[in-house]
Amino acid sequence: MGVEFMKHIIHYVTTNFKKIFHTVCTEIISCIQGTALHFVLVAAFLGTLNHFLYFLSGQSPIIALFCPVNESVWEHLKLLYFPFLFVSIWEYLSLHPVVLPFFYCRYLGVLLGMFFTVSVFYTYSGILGRNFLILDILLFYSSVIFSFGMSEYISGKTRSPHETEPGFVVSLWLITSFFFFVFTCFPPDLPLFYSA
């Protein structure tokens, strides 16, 4: 039964790929329209700059906390996370949305964006047997758009009781940043942290 179900799903996706792809892209674009395009572009630009900043800084230990220090998937999540955080702060200071729900939705958006990055990277590199630079670059830019889109999508949905608790919202961002800092200095012996 499970094999037949999977065959049905695969057949549905392959025969309706164009329609599904169009629907997903349309939905993401409509969600991003709530965010000014320049915030998305600045996050993409900062993420691109972030890729080279550690080596341009002479391998500064402070810069290492915010920028990739090797070619591991984990380190490359910093390309999305920290520029997204900094642009979200800038967006908040510019537009003055309600602070806690805004940063809560932005956090969920970037978290989903990082999950999207890891999932797509391991899926495509597993299928193709290796990764390709051009696909990695496209994946990064797609993840930026996906993160902003999901953040806007979530902001229009049912509210969580936790999003109005200042300690909870701030803790989410601080704990995730802390994990980036710690795992930069002491990476676990897991494939996610291996430098390619």
Structure confidence by residue, pLDDT tens digits, 35-91: 678 899 999 999 999 999 999 999 999 999 999 999 999 999 999 999 999 999 999
CA 162 to chain CA mean position, Å:
22
Q: What tokens does 33 get?
A: 């329209």
Per-residue confidence band for 99, with pLDDT thresholds at 50, 70 and 90: confident
Q: Which residue has the tokens 């996370």?
A: 81
Compute the distance between CA of residue 172 and CA of residue 100 in angstroms, rounded to an integer.
12
Phi, psi of 60 (to 5 degrees): -60, 130
Instruction: State residue 8's pLDDT score.
Output: 63
Instruction: State residue 182's pLDDT score.
Output: 97
pTM of this structure: 0.81
Instruction: State residue 168's pLDDT score.
Output: 87
For the packed helices 133-155 and 17-32, what is the interaxial angle rounded to 10 degrees?
Answer: 60
Statement: residue 28 has pLDDT above 70:
no
CA 106 to chain CA mean position, Å:
10
Compute the distance between CA of residue 147 and CA of residue 150 in angstroms, rounded to an integer.
5
Burial tier of 80 (Cβ tally within 10 Å: 0-12, 13-18, 19+): buried
CA 36 to chain CA mean position, Å:
18
What are the residue boundaries of the structural domains of the chain, listed by start?
33-193
Q: Among the listed ranges 19-23, 113-117, 147-151, 191-195, which one has the minimum average pLDDT value? A: 19-23
Of the chain, the percentage scoring pLDDT greater than 70 comes to: 82
